[in-house]
Amino acid sequence: MVGSAIVRKLQAEGYSNLITRTSSELDLRNQAAVTDFFADEQPEYVFLAAAKVGGILANNSFRAEFLYDNLMIESNIIHSSYKSGVKKLLFLGSSCIYPKLAPQPLKEEYLLSGYLEPTNEPYAIAKITGIKLCEAYRSQYGCNFISAMPTNLYGPNDNYDLQGSHVLPALIRKFHEAKLNGQPGVEVWGTGAPRREFLHADDLADACFFLMQHYNDDLFVNVGTGEDVTIRELAELVKETVGYEGDLYWNTEKPDGTPRKLMDVSRLHALGWKHKTDLKQGLEMTYQDFLANEVLYVE
Ligand code: GDP
């Protein structure tokens, strides 16, 4: 989702010499394959969007892969970028790097000030390591490696698999299928009380392009909208967007996860960037994209 959004943004800006690989063409966990790729292609600017990602259930179930895959991907790419003299690298992390009970909104300086949320601790540790790799290669070798921490994302090419997905694509699919099947109700996980912030992937790509051009500092930057909603509010909004008229059943056997993770985006705003797509508009765009590509998104 993020990689394809960055490619769309770069193409729209007139860039044509883009070097991309799918995960089946290049296994980024394989150190020798990544070393050869950088030696052969000699990229100048690297957007490190590749990661093993997923929603609360996937993160909590595949704890080994979320740690191992992400550590390998980051280590291989960051080290190869240093070795092959990449001019600039942008590493993408996540808002789950922050302590579970950090004050809200989350300021960049709250990193490593408390315990992490247990359901996604392995992923968060890997993403924190990515930030630290960029900082270390910058301070030791003078590499211009920067990091951005996006909030929860959604948009074209999202994962709609109900076992692996995040809440927003899961709810689009659940309400859509319930509407088609005339189901009286839809199961939604947790209590509905947690609050989440959502950013459209095209806005993130725009922010990445902006940071690649204008930001060269050590400290990572939060990327979000600065506004959040409860999961209950999100569910009502998705229900309305899809046009489903049944009921919601809250399954409190499923975990809530972090109570809130709202980004403080004042540094990004001060640099001169702000998101363009609000949640309602972004949901409508995303539902239209889901309808156009349902056969691809839902096996
Ligand atoms: P998180 O932001 O890492 O907690 O990941 P998710 O996007 O998977 O979950 C966010 C919140 O939405 C959690 O409180 C979930 O319990 C809740 N949620 C409600 N229904 C669903 C669903 O169908 N799928 C997912 N993934 N989360 C859901």
The pLDDT value recorded for residue 227 is 97
Q: Tell me whether the omega of the peptide bond preceding residue 105 falls within 30 degrees of 0, making it cis.
A: yes
Residues 6+ apart with CB under 8 A from 289: 155, 156
The pLDDT value recorded for residue 16 is 94
The pLDDT value recorded for residue 11 is 98
110-129 residue pLDDT tens: 999 999 999 999 999 999 99
The pLDDT value recorded for residue 147 is 98
* CA 58 to chain CA centroid, nearest Å: 14
Which amino acid does the sequence have at 80? S
Could you identify the atom of ligand 1 that is nearest to the CA of residue 196?
2
* Residue indicated by tokens 């924190």: 128
Residues with Cβ within 6 A of ligand 1? 55-56, 96, 120, 152, 165-167, 170, 188-190, 194, 196, 231, 254-258
Output b/e per residue, 261-275; b: 16+ Cβ within 10 A: bbbbbebbeebebeb
> By alpha-carbon position, which residue is closest to atom 19 of ligand 1?
189
Cα-trace Rg, the chain: 19
170-208 residue pLDDT tens: 999 999 999 999 999 999 999 999 999 999 999 999 999
| Ligand 1 midpoint to CA 46 (Å) | 31
55-104 residue pLDDT tens: 999 999 999 999 999 999 999 999 999 999 999 999 999 999 999 999 99
Burial zone of 257 (CB within 10 Å; 0-12 exposed, 13-18 middle, 19+ buried): buried
pTM strictly above 0.95: yes
| Ligand 1 midpoint to CA 195 (Å) | 10
Which of 1, 106, 116, 167 to probe ligand 1 with, by most ligand atoms within 8 A of CB? 167
pLDDT at 281 over 90: yes
Cα torsion angle, 299, 296, 64, 191, sign: negative
Superfamily of domain 2-298: NAD(P)-binding Rossmann-like Domain (3.40.50.720)
> By alpha-carbon position, which residue is closest to atom 22 of ligand 1?
167
pLDDT at 299 over 80: no
Residue 142: φ, ψ to 5°: 70, 20
> What does the alpha-carbon distance between residue 44 and residue 71 come to, in Å, rounded to a whole number?
22
| Ligand 1 midpoint to CA 224 (Å) | 18
| 3-class secondary structure, 186 | strand
Domain ranges of the chain: 2-298
Could you identify the atom of ligand 1 that is nearest to the CA of residue 174?
23
Which of 120, 166, 253 to probe ligand 1 with, by most ligand atoms within 8 A of CB? 166
Residue 260: φ, ψ to 5°: -160, 140
| Ligand 1 midpoint to CA 67 (Å) | 20
Which of 1, 52, 53, 56 to probe ligand 1 with, by most ligand atoms within 8 A of CB? 56
The pLDDT value recorded for residue 127 is 98
Average pLDDT, the chain: 97
Helix and strand numbers, DSSP H then E, in the chain:
10, 10
Band (pLDDT 50/70/90 cuts) for residue 27 is very high
Q: Is 123 a catalytic residue?
A: yes
Which is catalytic among the residues 98, 123, 137, 154?
Answer: 123
Residue 164: φ, ψ to 5°: -110, -15
- The Cα-based distances of 268 to 3, 29, 226, 278, 281 in angstroms read 21, 31, 10, 17, 22
pLDDT at 46 over 80: yes
